[in-house]
Amino acid sequence: MQIMAIDDDPIILELLSEVIGPMTNHSIITATSAKEALTMLARPETPKIDCFLLDIQMPEMDGIDLCRALRRSGAYPFAPILMLTAMNDRRYIDAAFAAGASDYITKPFEVNDIQLRIRQAEHRAARLARQIQQFTEDSDPTVKPKLDEPFVLYDINNVIDHYSLCNYVPMISGQTLSNSVVAGFHIRKIAQIHQSATPIQFRGLIEDVAEIISDALRNFNFLMSYAGNGTYLCVVEQTQTPDCRQIVDQINLALHQLDPVVPKPDNTQIRVCTSDLIPLIGRRAEMTQVALTMAKEMAEKRGREIEIELDTQWFMSRTA
Amino acid sequence: MRPGEDPLTAAIARVRAKFLTSLNDRCAEVAPLLSCADTPPDDILVPALTALHKTAGSAGSLGYRDLSEAAFGGEHSVKADLDSTRSISPYTREWLVCFLQLAERAMEDNSKDAPSAARQA
């Protein structure tokens, strides 16, 4: 990958150049400010950048604004952006991921950790590139995303890609003063919908439901992602714990009003169900992935249980 | 690179040498804060906070974790003072003195190591 590192500390740039350039198969160019980076990127002779390393606290334009500018420019919608910063407050972490960061590394960092996180970003970038190939307009429109595969949704408030959410959660779990909960939201009968919908209809449904969930949570401090299998994971700051039942009613009402264009299994409306709220408090960073998996599985299990309950009620009413 | 030294250690040593060279300047940015009786003026405050912030971010990766923590503590303590009393508190002064002492020690250790490193080279 061609990496660009932006930091106002020349020592950090020197260190990154030493440990990334000659010791990996990546090339690195550096800039000491956001302004210099944007100027370099505008030059035709600058190589295409595949990955960014951004400091946050820099004079004039900070790294979060630069991250947002890079994403909004349209030139780097998929390039991994790794924040590399001494700012470890929750508000910076939230703002960085909401602006489009893929990962967040706090300084001082271990050199081996940087190398590992860049390798992970490279794998993620390769997977994203394959997905993009599938979904660009000139690719085969008959290719449908796999049911269980998370894919990236763009331009929906507080929705980030699933890889970034998995990197975000360990960062906030270590914060002692502001803990969070994770909730899963699942589209019921998603397997049947996936089977009968066209690729465009399926993708449209996933986007519509993401927008509706994002809107229902607008009064909370949250980030969410699409985790595949019709399930969304939402990380909400615990100071404003949501009433999940009320949120689900709100989402289902909005879905009823929108009536997404998609084949409805058994002519029933598209409906969403939710998991319990799973606290992230007190979990070690490596255990936070378990909380995400639990929320996903719980929401999906709840979906199956509701269908069984409804089938049983229907059968009982027929036999009564 | 010293005989038997792996490339990563050698690379970090090269950056560490540059860091130590710049550390004297960074201390010179921080030290004036100690002589401010009231709210430090921006021409003292901004360079001092920048020096502390940069050192907090880089020193730990180069093997100076204590120095990094002292810089981090100093930076945050100065910011907390400015949010409340607007003047440098005795607690913050302790952080700053600690930072300057650790920086001096790192520079001294490096100058002691330099002749032996030169002999080995």
DSSP state string for B3-25: TT--HHHHHHHHHHHHHHHHHHH
For residue A8, list chain B residues with Cβ-Cβ distance below 8 A: 50, 54
The Cβ of residue B39 has, within 10 Å, a number of other Cβ atoms equal to 14
Whether A15 sits inside 8 A of B57 (CB atoms) is: no
For B59, which of A22, A108, A110 is closest by C-beta distance?
A108
For B7, which of A8, A23, A108 is closest by C-beta distance?
A23
Whether A11 sits inside 8 A of B14 (CB atoms) is: no
pLDDT at position A207 is: 94
Is A230 a residue whose pLDDT tops 80?
Answer: yes
Whether B18 sits inside 8 A of A23 (CB atoms) is: no
* pLDDT (tens digit per residue) in A137-173: 544 556 778 899 888 888 899 999 898 999 998 888 7
* pLDDT (tens digit per residue) in B97-110: 999 999 999 998 87
Task: Tell me the pTM.
Answer: 0.83
pLDDT at position A315 is: 66
* pLDDT (tens digit per residue) in A106-125: 999 988 899 899 999 998 88
Whether A110 sits inside 8 A of B61 (CB atoms) is: yes
Average pLDDT of chain B is 87
Is B121 a residue whose pLDDT tops 50?
Answer: no
Selected for mutation to probe chain B from A58, A107, A115 (highest B CB count within 10 Å) is A107
For residue A109, list chain B residues with Cβ-Cβ distance below 8 A: 60-61
Is B22 a residue whose pLDDT tops 90?
Answer: yes
| pLDDT confidence band for B115 (50 / 70 / 90) | very low
Is A245 a residue whose pLDDT tops 90?
Answer: no
Whether B57 sits inside 8 A of A110 (CB atoms) is: no
Q: If you measure CA to CA, which chain B residue comes closest to A11? A: B19
Is B117 a residue whose pLDDT tops 50?
Answer: no
For A57, which of B19, B53, B62 is closest by C-beta distance?
B53
Summarize the confidence of residues A278-301 as an average pLDDT: 85
Q: If you measure CA to CA, which chain B residue comes closest to A105? A: B57
For B8, which of A23, A107, A108 is closest by C-beta distance?
A23
* pLDDT (tens digit per residue) in A261-284: 888 887 888 999 999 988 887 667
Give the A window 2-61 contacts with B, CB below 8 Å. Answer: 8-12, 14-15, 18-19, 22-23, 55, 57
- Long-range pairs, A251-258, Cβ under 8 A, ≥24: A251/A185, A251/A209, A251/A212, A251/A213, A251/A216, A254/A212, A254/A215, A254/A216, A255/A208, A255/A209, A255/A212, A258/A208, A258/A212
- Rounded to 5 degrees, φ, ψ at A142 are -90, -5
pLDDT at position A94 is: 92
Is the CB of B117 inside 8 Å of chain A's CB atoms?
no
Burial class (CB in 10 A: 0-12, 13-18, 19+), A273: buried
Q: Provide, rounded to the nearest whole percent, the portion of chain A with pLDDT above 90.
A: 57
Give the A window 59-98 contacts with B, CB below 8 Å. Answer: 85-86
Residue A231 CA to residue B98 CA, distance in Å, equals 51
Is the CB of B62 inside 8 Å of chain A's CB atoms?
yes
